[in-house]
Amino acid sequence: MNKNIQIATVGGGCFWCTEAVFQEVKGVEKVVSGYAGGNVPGKPTYREICSGLTGHAEVIQITFDANIISFEDILVIFMTTHNPTTLNRQGADRGTQYRSVIFYHNETQKLISEEVLKQLQPHFSDAIVTELSELPTFYEAEAAHQNYYRENTQQGYCSFVIEPKLAKLRQLHADKLVEI
């Protein structure tokens, strides 16, 4: 069967969390942590992003086979494994770099994103504040931020922040996960 490779770019707080979530999803070929949506030229560093002054969000770029998982399913998993109702915040992480955002790659992704946001809104008691924007330049994060959860499972952040998101993923989307 031929593959139908597509790319999605989303940010839902710390990229270590969203990266770990999508590494477990069937049909996902690759997940790369990075930055997008800033207002300063050139490739930013993690330290610059953390200052909140560049306007970039921590995001992941998901390469997936649309014959196995749809863009719509990617978005539903994304929207239900982070809190899309808190502006510039996920848990204790605060700042514009932690905003909830979908960066669409084309008009089709934009339309699907708008529809998913509309369909999911009734399932949240607060308004969804997820930003929807055309993808600007995506900058890959430094090597230390790639595959973070898998290489640092004993870190406190992984235990206390990432593992509950993975538990939620496994509970809500078991049928979409890679069999371990």
Q: For position 40, which CATH number holds?
A: 3.30.1060.10
pTM for the whole thing? 0.95
CA distances from 29 to 22, 62, 70, 105 (A): 10, 8, 13, 18
Active site residues: 14
| Residue 159 belongs to some domain of the structure | yes
Total domains, the chain: 1
CA distance 164 to 177: 16
Query: E-strand spans in 37-136?
Result: 57-65, 89-90, 93-94, 100-104, 131-134
Whether 42 has a pLDDT exceeding 90, the answer reads no
| Mean pLDDT value across residues 151-164 | 92
Helix axes 163-172, 71-80, angle to 10 degrees: 130
* Phi, psi dihedrals of residue 174, rounded to the nearest 5°: -55, -35
What's the pLDDT tens digit per position in 125-157? 999 999 999 999 999 999 999 999 999 999 999
Q: What pLDDT does 180 receive?
A: 64
Q: Name the pairing type of β-strands 28-36 and 89-90.
A: unpaired
| Residue 120 belongs to some domain of the structure | yes
- Residue-range definition of the domain harbouring residue 140: 5-174
| Residue 179 belongs to some domain of the structure | no
| Residue 32 belongs to some domain of the structure | yes
| Residue 19 belongs to some domain of the structure | yes
Q: How far apart are the first and last CA of the chain?
A: 23
Indicate if the alpha-carbon torsion angle 35, 36, 37, 42 is positive or negative.
positive
What's the pLDDT tens digit per position in 53-107? 899 999 999 999 999 999 999 999 999 999 999 999 988 889 999 999 999 999 9
Sheet of 131-134: strand order equals 131-134, 100-104, 5-12, 57-65, 28-36, 139-140
What's the pLDDT tens digit per position in 28-41? 999 999 999 999 88
What SS3 class is residue 72?
A: helix
Q: What pLDDT does 30 receive?
A: 97
CA distances from 61 to 17, 19, 55, 107, 119 (A): 13, 9, 18, 18, 23
